[in-house]
Chains A and B, each alone.
Chain A
Amino acid sequence: MSVDAPARTLNVALVGNPNTGKSTLFNALSGIRQKTGNYPGVTVEKKHGSFTHKGQKVELIDLPGTYSLAPRSPDEMVTVDVLLGRQANEAKPNAVLVIVDASNLERNLYIVSQVKELGLPTVVALNMGDIAKDKGISVDVDKLAERLDVPVVATQANRKGGLDQLRDTIVSLLDRDSISPESPFPAEFCDKVSQLHEKLQKHDAESTRYLAERLLLDTSGYLEKELTSGGQELHNWIVESRNQLAELGQPVPAIEAISRYKWVQSVLDGIITREAARKVTLSDRIDRILTNRVGGTIFFILIMTLMFQAVFSDLVAGNLMGYIEGFFELIAGLVDASLADGALKSLLIDGVIAGVGGVLVFLPQICILFFFIAILEDCGYLARAAYLMDRLFSKIGLSGKSFIPLLSSFACAIPGIMAARVIENRRDRLITILVAPLMSCSARMPVYVLLTAAFIPDETIGGFLSLHTLVMLSMYLLGILAAVGVAFVLRRTILPGETPPFVMELPSYKFPSISGVLMVMVEKGWAFVKRAGTLIFAMTIIVWALSYFPRNEEAATAPFANEIAQLESQLEGANEEEAAQIEERLVEINNQIDGELLRGSFLGMAGHWIEPVVKPLGWDWKIGSAAIASFPAREVIISTMGVLYNLGGEEDEESAPLRETIKEAKWAGTDENVFNIPVALSIMVFFALCAQCAATLAVIKRETNSWRWPIFTFVYMTVLAYLGALITYQVSAAIMLS
C-alpha cells in the first residue's frame, strides 16, 4: 500500500552578483505575491515571494546581490546563514537559483563555484543574453550545464523570457535532496578543511564543512569571532595550518581567488565565443559622454535639475498635493459639521487630521522622487552618478555611494536613510545615515518661506539676485556644509579607521523595466503611508494632548464673557455691515481665548519654563513653545504659532495675517518687537539644523538596530541647532541692532 507523501514546499533562495537582473527575475517569477521585511538585528532587506507551477508551490527568498559568499560583515553573514539554514525564523532553502550575467560569465561563475560547494540542488539562470549578443558573445548553454553539472536555463528577465522553462526546472529540483559538492581547491587545502570540520563538529555537531572552509579562508578574524568561542587552541591551529598551506604554495586567502578563477576558466574553455575585435557597444558610446568629467557633469546637473523640478513643481507634485490637502479639508469639514465642540472634535481635527494629513501631503513628492531614482538605477545611470560624485565625497571621507541617500534626503530623510543600504561598508553607511537628516527636507520649506517673506527685505543684490532667494539658498547650503563638517568630525573621532578600498561595477545600460519601477514606487509610497498611519499618528495625538490639557475654559472665557454676550445680542438687530464687523470681533475674541488656553496648556507651561534657555537665541516663550511642539514633526510650528499668536490654527506659510501679527508681536510689558531679522535668521538656522522629526529617529533606530544612534543624532543635531541659532542671533544682532 502506498501512501501519498505530503506535499513538500520548495524553498528556493535567489543569489547572484549585483546588476544581473536578479530582482527583475524575482519580480517576474513571483508577480505581486511578495512581501519585504528586515532580518532582525541587521539592515539586510529580505524579500519573500511565491508562485505555483503545475500544482507545486514554490517559496522564493531574494537575497541581497553579492559578488561572493565570503562573509566579512553581519549583512553578508545573513546571506550565508540563510543558505545554511542557520537564520532563525527562516526555513532552510532546499534549492538555490543562481542568476548570472551571460555577458560576464568569467566573473559571475565565481559565486556559482561557492554555491555548488554548499551541496544544495542548484539551477543557474543565464540572464541578459541580449547584452551578451550586443557584445558579440555567445555561450553554448547545453555544454555549460554539462560542465557545471547543474541545469542552466537561458532567461531574459526584463522581457519575461524563459520563465516557463525556469519554473519547470525549479519544480523538477523537488526530486533532489542534494548535489555532490564540488571543491575547486587543491587536495592539501581540502585536507585541512576536513580536519578543521572534524574539530568544529566536536563542539557543535551542526557545523558545516562550508563554514569550516570559510573559517580557514577568513584572515580578517570576523568568522572566528562569530562562530567559535575564540578558543586559543583552535586559533593557534588555524594560524599554523595557514602557515603550512603558505609553505605549500597555497597562501590563504589568495588561494580562493586563484582556485575559483582556475575552475571558471576550465568550465568556460571552448564553450564561450567572442568576436575577435571587441565590439563598441551602445553602452560604451553613452559612457564616453556620461562618465566624461565635463560632459558627464553637465548631464548630471541637467538630470538632477529635472528631478528636483518634477519633485517641487506645481505641474505634477503641486497639483497632487493640492488634491490630498483638499481631501483632508473635506474630511475635517465633515467632522466639524457632525460633531459638537469639545475634546473629541479637537482631537480629530487638530490632532489626527491635521497631523496625519500634514505628513501624507508629501506622498506625491516621495513617489515622484522614488520613480526617478528607480528609473535611474534600473537603467544603470546611478552608478555613473556615484562615480562622478566620488571625487567630491572622498574629500570628507565618504564615497560616491553616499550620494543617492543624501540626494533622497532633500525630499525626506526617511527614504534617504533607507537608501543608505546600498553602501556595503558599515562605517560609511552609518555616517551617511547620521548626516542625512541635515539635508533640508521639504518639511523645512514652510518655515523658511514664512520667515523670509516676513522679515527679509524684498531687495536685490547687484540688480538681479533677490535677497529672499539668497536666504533660502543659504539655508540649504547650511545643511550641506553642516553635513560635510559632521561627517568629517565623525570620521576623525568616534568612527575612525582606514578608508576601505572603493570599487564599484558600472553595469551596462539597459531599458528600465516599467513594472519594476512602478513596484518600487508603490512599495516605498506604501511604507511611507504606513509610517504616517502609525508613528506620526501617535505623535500628533501626544502633541495635541499637550497643547489641549489642562483645559480651563471658564477661566479663559471669563474676561470676555460680558463682551461676547453683548456682541451676540447686538448681532440680532444688526444690518449686514454691522453684522460682519461683530462677527469679525467674535472671531478675534475666540482666537484670543484659544491663545489663552494654549498658554495655560502643558505645552504653554513648558514654553514659559524654557524661556531662560531660548532667550539668548532672541526668542520669547511663544517661539520656544512652538519649537517644542515641532520636535515630533517640524511642520507643526506654523500651526502652533498661528494658535499662539491668536490667529487660530488654520494658518499656513502664505498667510498674510500671521506674517503681519508676528511682525507686530511685542515682548510682554514692553514696546519692543519680538521678531526682527536676527530672530528670524536664528529660528531658520535652528530649524535647518535640528532633528525635529520623530519618524526619522525611528527609522535610524530600525536601520542601525540600536537606540544609541537615534539618541546620538538627536543630541548632536539639537546641540548644533542651538549653537547655530545662538551664534546667528548674537552675531547678526550685534551687527544690525547696534
Chain B
Amino acid sequence: MFPDIPLNMVQPGSVVRISQVVGGQDDVKRMAEMGLQTGTEVEMLQSGSPCIVRVGQSKLCFRQSDVLNILVSTD
C-alpha cells in the first residue's frame, strides 16, 4: 500500500480517491460542499498548484494551501 500524498502531486490522467481532507473545520466543510470530501474519486486533469481535477461531473480548479491539504491514496 502506498502512503497518502497531497492531491497536487498526482500525475495528470490518474484517478485517485480522497483519503483525508486536513484543515480547519470550516474550510474542510466548504470543500465538501464543492464535492471534495473523503472517499470521493477524483481524476487529475492538470497537475501542479493550482491543479484541475474532475470531481463527479464538475471540473474544479484547486490550490493546495497552508491551511488546507487534500490527501489521496493512489493504490
Interface residues of A (CB under 8 A from B): 67-68, 70, 72, 103-107, 110, 135, 137, 219-220, 253-254, 256-258, 261, 287, 291-292, 383, 386-387, 390-391, 394, 399-400, 498-506
Contact = CB atoms under 8 A, between A and B. Distances in A.
Contacts of B52: 287, 291, 387, 506
Contacts of A499: 65-67
A287 B59 contact: yes
A253 B23 CA distance: 13
B61 A106 contact: no
Given A254-B28, A257-B32, A501 B65 contact: yes
Given A253-B25, A498-B67, A104 B57 contact: yes
24 contacts: A68-B33, A72-B30, A104-B56, A107-B34, A107-B35, A137-B57, A287-B45, A292-B46, A386-B61, A390-B63, A391-B49, A391-B50, A501-B23, A501-B31, A501-B63, A501-B68, A502-B62, A502-B63, A503-B31, A503-B34, A504-B60, A504-B61, A505-B61, A506-B58
> Chain B: interface secondary structure?
mixed
Contacts of A505: 34, 58-61
B35 A400 contact: no
Contact of B26 (A220, A258, A287): A220
Q: In this complex, which of B29, B60, B68 has the most chain A Cβ atoms within 10 angstroms of its Cβ?
A: B29
Contacts of B60: 503-506
Contact of B58 (A107, A261, A386): A107
A387 B33 contact: no
A110 B33 contact: yes
A630 B33 CA distance: 49
Interface of B: 23, 25-37, 45-46, 49-50, 52, 55-63, 65-68
Contacts of A386: 61
Contacts of B46: 291-292
A391 B49 CA distance: 7
Contacts of B55: 107
A500 B29 contact: no
A627 B41 CA distance: 60
Given A257-B33, A400-B50, A387 B61 contact: yes
Contacts of B32: 254, 256-257, 261
B65 A106 contact: no
A287 B58 CA distance: 13
Contacts of A105: 57
A460 B45 CA distance: 46
A390 B59 CA distance: 16
B34 A399 contact: no
Contacts of B33: 67-68, 70, 110, 257
Contacts of A501: 23, 27, 30-31, 62-63, 65, 67-68
Contacts of B62: 501-504
B61 A503 contact: yes
Nearest to A137: B57
A67 B34 contact: yes
Contact of B57 (A67, A107, A110, A292): A107
A391 B25 CA distance: 26
B46 to A, nearest CB: 5
Nearest to A114: B33
Contacts of A68: 33
Contacts of A219: 25-26
Contacts of B59: 287, 505-506
